[in-house]
Structure 1
Amino acid sequence: MELEDLPSPVLVEILSRLSDSTELARCRLASRTLRSLSRDVPSVRLFCSRDRFLRSRAPATCDHVTPFRSLVANLASFLSASPGPLALALAAERPPSAPADEVDDADDLHLTAVPFLARWLPLLAARLRSLAIDDYWLQSCWRPSQALSLIADLCHNLVNLEVRNAWLSVEELKPMHKLTSLTLEFIRLDDANLDKVNECFPSLQALNLIRVGGLKEPKIHLLQLRVCTWTVSNFVQSLTVCAPKLVELKLKCVEPKALHLETPLLSELDVTIKKARATILVGEKLNLRSLRIESSDLCSVAQVFAHRGTIKRLELEAYGSSHFVDLVEQCTIDLLSTFPDIDELVLGPRAWFILPENLCVRGELRNLKKLMVHLAPEELDAAMISWKLTPLLTHARYCQVVMLIPAAASMDSRTHVISKCISNFPGIRWKWDTWKCG
């Protein structure tokens, strides 16, 4: 049986699994059947590799390489003949070691440029359900773009939008009521307090803001939001999340002066605060079941979320080894009184290192069912490990312990730790693995 003899839906499924448009183009040239069916693929990815970019710039090869943006426009024209829904992704590979202040005056890979988008986006706007643009930062970093406004004007059926490595303006941005998922990563955003994001994306259920710059006192106020990842890399005055339906939040920030959470249904929280000098305000109602904290001041942050729901899973990590001495001098967290309902405990390598000076158990962790420990590279002494485990495991009869040993540790060290733990805690179910430092 020839490939063309397969049922059309099967062929379309095969074509949709191709990794990028180059492979799809080869199939279009192979036969008329494949060319016709390739219009119906539900997802297409166009990727400009570093090699392709260099060949397009080199005098000896530039005449033989179709400009990437022309390739996008040509493919859009080809795909416009099909009425089915489409997910489109455009990406340009960034140089592996470009200086932070380097810029490129050309615009051949400026993928969020409005004139470029206006060439082809109207052809596919009705089909598009998902659009991802990974711009070329060296060309986009110094050029503000109104790409969001153009996309909002044209793509009325879009439900997922992802933009990376760009400078985005929110001028003349109109609401996108069908958009339920938005990702902005490594973006300079001209929306200091996120007012336009809140106004123009009211139906968002998933929001990812990763290293978005230009923020001052950002506030997420989205009534339908359920899942949010927010990494704030610059210093801001305050951070606010007001989302009555939010159930999962991953928040990473440096040193805000204030953090305010109004999230009554929040059940899973992962919070990293480099320096916990902020005033943390949490609404009266919080339904936490899973909590991860990474901070240079574990004690203060942990106390804020203590008794906020029935926390079953707890993960702790200290932020940066240079703060160990300061932590010891400040306070101690009693795991049992602070989080009495935990049945799963995960300790990062720095949190384990400061046990029991800052983390202790004054009582019996009878409900503990799983303990995961990332052993610190600086501390692979078997006797010390057993001493630290004793208060955690003495009364945890049905606990499973997962010990993660640094991958760089010698085989002799690993063997000694394993044999010592097994002999000292014979009733415990053990699992062993490694983790890579850094």
Structure 2
Amino acid sequence: MTLLFEKRQTKFLALIFFNQTENLYSHNLLELELKHAWLSVENMNPMPMLTSLTLEFIRLEDKNLTELNKSFPNLLVLNLIDVRGLKRPMIHLLNLKTCQWIITDASPCLILITPNLTTLNLECRKVVALYIEAPLLSNFHLAIDHLGAVSVRTFKNLKSLSLKSSYICSLIQKFLHFKTIENLTLNSGDFAVGAFDDSKFTIKKMLTYFRTVTSLCFNTRAWLSFEARYESFDRVCLDGRLGLTTFRGYLLRVDPALTFSLVACVLDQCKDLVDVSLLIHRDHAAAHVSRRFMDWCVAGWPRLNWRWGAWEEGTEDTWITNGIPNAQVN
């Protein structure tokens, strides 16, 4: 049973709903979705059968999530989207498998202890400390605007990692010791051109550490972030044994010499590479300089399957044929 509860400024109604539904719902309800409510958890009845819970745009009087953990012990799916009123929240659910946690206000500390979690989507603006204990985690999307202390216990099964941060080069170093990552996506988020973090982490170092990655994607300004710290020693060849087979890059701008050198740094180290997709911002996609850049790439690595595209925020990616965007990119 799925129940959608959607009311505004209903602290008392929400409180009655939680306190007076024992006979009707507490023992049988499997899925629950609440939106736009002010909830009190005082004397809340446990719902042991509930496996899926979504709280969206909620004011929750459970600052540490203590009652939530007690009341829904068998949750498999948990979505917390813009839940306010939290101080030092901790998700401690032993059966949880999928979690989406989107936080729009600052939080001093976030803790997740979830031994069976496999998929985690965590987005937050500013966190002083982040602690995650999820040994079975395989898919992890992390977006942090302001980076604090990040502590993650060993993810023995982490396969897919997506990172978004204005401090992308600093954040990625937190995951260097994970040797099982196969799909890696990097996004620097929204920041002014030139406003990079102080990390000296380069693309050569990234390729050196993430040798198990088979699919690599640079979204939007992440490429520009690495390009800004590109140095001549990054051209030095590694051993060419990197396992990368698929590469996609979203280019904000094209400097033929510099951008080509950075592309070469990736392609020359990946002998097993098969598919390469490069998307250029629509403001530059049809320019002569981009056409020359494309010709250089195809001539330099003719054996690769090249896909060219154009991108822009808020619109669909498109193919480029003969310099003209004409079809959606899948």
Structure 1 residues 162-171 or 197-206, which shifts more?
Answer: 162-171
- Is 1:374 the counterpart of 2:244? The answer is no
The 5 Å alignment of 1:13-92 reads none
Cα displacement string for residues 99-138 of structure 1 (whole angstroms, at most 9, x for unaligned residues): xxxxxxxxxxxxxxxxxxxxxxxxxxxxxx1112344xxx
Which residue of 137, 141, 145 corresponds with 1:266? 137
CA deviation after TM superposition for structure 1 residue 202, in Å: 0.6
TM-score under structure 1 length normalisation: 0.64
- Is 1:400 the counterpart of 2:278? The answer is no
Write the distance in 1 (CA, Å) between the matches of 2:308 and 2:140.
27
Which residue of 84, 107, 111 corresponds with 1:236? 107
Is contact 2:256–2:293 with CA below 8 Å preserved after alignment?
A: yes
- Is 1:298 the counterpart of 2:173? The answer is no
State the partner residue of 1:386. 260
TM-score under structure 2 length normalisation: 0.83
- Is 1:205 the counterpart of 2:81? The answer is no
Higher Rg = 1
Is contact 2:60–2:86 with CA below 8 Å preserved after alignment?
A: yes
CA deviation after TM superposition for structure 1 residue 284, in Å: 4.2
CA deviation after TM superposition for structure 1 residue 361, in Å: 7.8
CA deviation after TM superposition for structure 1 residue 393, in Å: 0.5
Find the residue that maps to 2:192 and give its secondary structure.
helix
Cα displacement string for residues 272-298 of structure 1 (whole angstroms, at most 9, x for unaligned residues): 11111x222222454311111112222
When residues 204 and 361 of structure 1 are mapped into structure 2, their CA distance, relative to the original with a 3 A threshold, is farther
State the partner residue of 2:298. 422
State the partner residue of 2:226. 355
The 5 Å alignment of 1:170-319 reads 170-276=41-147, 278-284=148-154, 286-319=156-189
Is contact 1:336–1:361 with CA below 8 Å preserved after alignment?
A: no
Write the distance in 2 (CA, Å) between the matches of 1:211 and 1:306.
30
List gaps (5 residues or longer) in structure 1: 1-128
Write the distance in 2 (CA, Å) between the matches of 1:264 and 1:298.
24
Write the distance in 1 (CA, Å) between the matches of 2:279 and 2:19.
48
**Cα RMSD after superposing both structures:** 2.4
Which amino acid in the other structure matches residue 207 of structure 1? L
Structure 1 residues 351-360 or 365-374, which shifts more?
Answer: 351-360
Write the distance in 2 (CA, Å) between the matches of 1:149 and 1:380.
60
Write the distance in 1 (CA, Å) between the matches of 2:13 and 2:128.
29
Which amino acid in the other structure matches residue 43 of structure 2? E
Which structure dedicates a bigger proportion of its chain to helix?
A: 1
Which structure dedicates a bigger proportion of its chain to strand?
A: 2
Write the distance in 1 (CA, Å) between the matches of 2:167 and 2:38.
34
Find the residue that maps to 2:244 and give its secondary structure.
coil
Which amino acid in the other structure matches residue 228 of structure 1? C
- Is 1:321 the counterpart of 2:191? The answer is yes
Write the distance in 2 (CA, Å) between the matches of 1:324 and 1:142.
46
CA deviation after TM superposition for structure 1 residue 367, in Å: 1.2
- Is 1:330 the counterpart of 2:199? The answer is yes
Write the distance in 2 (CA, Å) between the matches of 1:412 and 1:272.
33
Which amino acid in the other structure matches residue 305 of structure 2? R
Structure 1 residues 220-229 or 413-422, which shifts more?
Answer: 413-422
When residues 361 and 286 of structure 1 are mapped into structure 2, their CA distance, relative to the original with a 3 A threshold, is farther
Write the distance in 1 (CA, Å) between the matches of 2:65 and 2:140.
21
Aligned identity (percent) is 33
List gaps (5 residues or longer) in structure 2: 315-330
Larger RCO, structures 1/2 (Cα 8 Å, 6+ apart)? 2
